[in-house]
Structure 1
Amino acid sequence: MATDKKKKLKVSLVVMLILIFIGIGAAAIYVYHEVTQYNLVFANHIYVNDVAIGGLTQEEALIKIKEQLNTYNEEHFITLFNKDKQIHLSLDTFNPTSNLDEVLQDAYTPGHEGHIFKRFLASKNTALESIHYLVQTSYDLSEIEKALEVQAHLFEEAPIDATIERKNRQFYVTPEQIGYALDSQATASIIYDMLTANELPIRPIQIVMKEVTPAVTAKELEKAQTPLASFSTSYNNADQDRNQNLAIAASKINAKLNPGESFSLGSKLEPITPDAGYKASKVIVNGKLEEGIGGGVCQIASTLYNALLLSDIEIISRANHSLPVAYVPLGRDATYASELIDFKFRNNSQYPLFVESYCEDNKIIVNLFGDAALKLPYDEVKFSSELIKTTPPPPTIYKEDDTLYEDQEIQETTPLEGKTVKLYRLMYKNGELVSKELINTSYYKARGEVIKVGTKPRLD
């Protein structure tokens, strides 16, 4: 009996030991499983930005806190204002960054330290004191500047250049107006300081503006008022139709040329038509005088040409008449023919150039005003027309005319020699010639004599 009892006791002990080992093994497996799962998540008492992330994985916590940060940045605005204008920019406009990754790494440590059983107990303890972490948002000054530059046009007050006109023989200057532009660097610094200091609530910020100087000032335009040259030619007051053409053309060439701008006589005078007020008068056609609308406008071209020759203004194109004219010496005339010949020059200075033209006391007067740099740097300017070649007139032409009697002859056209002339500009300082410059070479055609011979018999 005693032996049986001992055997039963031994068996019981063995069974108990087996059960104990099984229980311990099961418990160990359970603990291992729980800790393994727990290692994937944050401890229950962890908060980031007051958001509970206990039981969340790293990825889940990252998404949750990012959503909170994004919502905050989208819903919180900075008001920027200047005078009566204001805009509201959400914080995400400035592309903020944060230390969220580092915070989550730190937040994972509590409850995940020590041996496996310590971590197991931590995973089951719901009475631990909460631990709070705060994500720091950072701003890049250059990103704030970029965001402001996108909005800069909303606050821009463009500068207005000074302007100048010449009317009634006087200059009229309208002063410039200073402009203003958003100073993105200075304004960005104010925003940056406020955001990095975590000032709450976010206060409105007055934008820093900077002055923008106009490109053209009234002071600068004083340089466009220098008298450069003046020239006049005379005309006969008896020919009223021609005089009307001169008055119209003189008024049309008044102009202001901006730097680099070209002047075309044709663009000013045209259309040369009766509807534009032009009358019929003598014009040179193929070496002889004929009636034509706008006769006389070439005198305007020649007067303007001579005024330009007294300055350093760039002449682009000029042609002489086919015959000499009475109002200027050889080589100093300029002609114009609709759609055929134009007279052009260019404002080759840094300031406006003014052409002023009018008729007064039987004279066409052209005055030029502009940059002093266009004024010839000499005390006196003269011109020399040097005849270098002559061409004899062609043989006389006799034309029968049945309106004349057989014993009558009338000279229709006088003969003229052809002439080639070189025009020189002579420049003096202190009474001495210091420069002789070839300006042009002009060729005037020879013209043959034309005699009308009568063919009508006389009746006795």
Structure 2
Amino acid sequence: MKAPAKTGAFYNLQVIVGVVFLYGHYKSIIIVVVLSVFLVAICSSALAIKNAPGIAYGVHSGDVDLAGLDERTAAKNISEKFMKETENGVIILNYDGKSWTIKPDDIALICDNGKTAEMAAAVGVSGNFFKDVFDKFICTYQGKNVPLQITYDQNKLNSIITRLASSINKEPVDAYAYTDGTAVGIKGEKEGKKIDEKQLTDIINEKIESGIYPQTLDIPVSITKAAVEAGALEQIDTVLAAYTTHFNTGDVNRSANVALAAKNLSGTLLTSGTVFSFNKTVGPRLAAAGYREAPEIINGKVVPGIGGGVCQVSSTLYNSILQAGLTPVERTEHYLPVDYVPRAFDATVADGFIDFKFRNNLKHSVYISTRTENGALTIFIIGSSDDKAQAAGITLKNYYNGDGSVSAYRIYRQNGNIAKKEFLHTDN
């Protein structure tokens, strides 16, 4: 029987289905072939990477390329590079136009070239095939830095930084007023400088351990302002009062105590309304502070003591502030009379329990300046010309009473006449 002819839409559909079937079949074959080729290529590359001789490709130490080298050659190259980089120093420190160089010998810096090369050669040779292939593959395309294996003496580095700090650090210097007894001058302040030693140490350690040499860095220095700046003294322009007492220079220890206490007192600035404390300003009278053993009055007896003679400074100051028109707040007489000021015009002090205090009741600041020379102690109260009138014409007077006590007065005069007679105290 004759087969029917393949005509019309049904025939065309059969042709299309056949073509699609054949195309899909060959596409699958093509994909399998491509994947096979790709897999073979990957395996070949993996084996090539795994079995490459020497240190893995992409491995370096800093800018020293170690790829393909054996350990010995790698160690030699690392050593040569390290020596060349450090011959002019490891760290160069800069500050204020000066520079300091830290050399390898200064800190006993050593590079273990063999250890560094050994670590480089260990990349991709753990014994785990897949891990080693993966590690070497990543290393080939991304690279791997093996840091230098270095050691150095931290104590030697710390000593260098300490010495450096001692050459740079400076305490701030306050502005100060000075006088020859008539004219008044002002000397400007100086800023202080201080190295942040911990910060500098941390930075240097980081630079050294980076293995990149030499490295230059600026020394971190903080600036400290003076406690008293020239602007605070701009109205200090005249001597309000001065008082002088004398001491025996032959008594070396006592003279030294007077000079030291006067030095600690000098430079004190008191703003308007401020209460001054002698003990707080001068500080403890201790041997550690430089004071010496000299006679002093304790419980009515003259005995040796550290800081003997300091009461002459407080007594001299007492007379100066009275003549400057300032207000006494706390004052105690000696148990026995002293010979360097008139009766009732002394002011004894003792660490911790007897102080001398006064208040600056003037409109402007006052400044205390002292001078000690040739057995004479002079204390100047310097202030503003606007306050001069209040201090002008002041005299001090003591009166002996019939019972043996002595009363102290401050007398204000205007045009030669007594304008005010201020009772201060009576000493028994």
TM-score, normalised with respect to structure 1: 0.43
Could you say which structure has the larger radius of gyration? Answer: 1
Q: Which has the higher helix share?
A: 2
- The TM-score normalised by the length of structure 2 is 0.46
Bigger proportion of residues as strand: 1
